[in-house]
Structure 1
Amino acid sequence: MKVEAATDLNEGAETMDVTSNGRTISMGKAIAYFALSLVINSAGNVLTLVTSAKIHPSFLGAAYWSAAEANLGTAFHWNLFWAFLVMGFLTAVLNAILIHHWDWKRIAGNMVFMVPFSALIQVFEDFFTGKYPALFAGLPEARSLGMVILYIGLNFLGVAFIAVAISIYQRVNLVLHPADDLMQILRFRYFKGNAARAMWASYIPPTIMAIIAVIITHTFVNFGLGTIFAFLAQGGITGIADKTIFPKLKHQAVDVGKIDD
């Protein structure tokens, strides 16, 4: 199947061929791109969470999925590893529903992604909170206006890291985080390649997660200015990164299920 996908985020001015059957890069390059994107994504996610927690009162918030999963983890007394892993599996189930068939290979790929990703999330959280003092003492509390401004910048940078990482490993398309697989399905199956619209639609599940967490805990944390920035800008940054970060890397082997004409 070949999908004609408009990838310009401002009304889809540019058209791109997305080939579902073949690959144009070697497996070695694909794995290298994937490994790099996994580290960037994990670091970005944790950067948004930690900078949010270091400002009091908390107004910054984390990236949208990270915020929802962290809240749900608090509600069920899970650490970040289990919160990200469980919600990843549930999202993989949703993806199977959207493409109209249960693909064990695809779901296994989602889980293959989730295990090292969730582990890296925990590693970076420990690093940024100072649990490896020999390497880094951790980000201090923001006690001045300058520190607050710095953490806002780091938070937004974390969102940009996530968006760039999504762009890279969606194009590589070896295995995907279930949330990004959801975004890719929505992007090429339902939104004609528009990354921003697909990203916004993909935020429906974490919104439901957050509502469940609020009902259980009666608290609402990790949502704020940074979350709003992620909601508005992350999809757009992903679309820009498609063209500017490793621009010769094209979308590989996209499979969004059979699309009826």
Structure 2
Amino acid sequence: MEPPSERAPRLGSVAALDRVLADCRACPRLVEWREEVARVKRAAFADEEYWGRPVAGFGPADARMLVVGLAPAAHGGNRTGRMFTGDRSGDVLVRALYDIGLASQPTSERRDDGLRLLGVRFTAPVHCAPPANKPTPGERDTCAAWLVRELQLMKGTLGSVVVLGAFGWQALMTAIPAAGWSVPRPRPVFGHGVRVDLAPADPATPRPLAVFGSYHVSQQNTFTGRLTPAMLREVLADAATAAGLHPRTP
């Protein structure tokens, strides 16, 4: 099978990207882990059929705002087949988007639950669930072609990106130049609430891109109060405004 770096650039739509990405087997460690999790299962989900494949982005292809996470959770996205679905991280993120009017409902439980994101799309720098929620730098680099192509295909409408965590921030800042925006030097450092405005790097990129940092919506952050719902809503609302969306005040 062709590596992502050769397949992704030829894909002409976000729908095609999502479809082809779901068959990727480029990283042996991740393939083995995601499929083992899908076989063994968690006791609470023993009667469910796990997805056990790469998890594509979720949301409209013409979204104005992109939310970049880390990777699918073993018993969340890897189980349900949808980004930020079926786990606590998804609960927190989707609730915050619902509170500001950018999701059709406050929960994200399964692929057929009717959730719609309004002007927003989810993606990640690594599309397979990694052991201990820790992809390697090599796995991030192998998966980078999918992120680059997704950004390229969305740049006609994309106005802002919210990056959840330092791993995603590093991946995005590496991918951005190939997607058509300029990254300043020294490279911007991740932090919660940080905003960086990136200028187009070529005539094919129609608008600047505002990039916002947020702590990840992991239980480690949300259970300890490092990231509160109000903190998350504030970053999401700022990014939505920068993208030309109209978030409401919860």
Instruction: Name the TM tier (shorter chain).
Output: 0.3 to 0.5
| TM-score between the two structures when normalised by the length of structure 1 | 0.33
| TM-score between the two structures when normalised by the length of structure 2 | 0.34
The structure in which a higher percent of residues are strand is: 2
Higher relative contact order (CA 8 A, sep 6+): 1
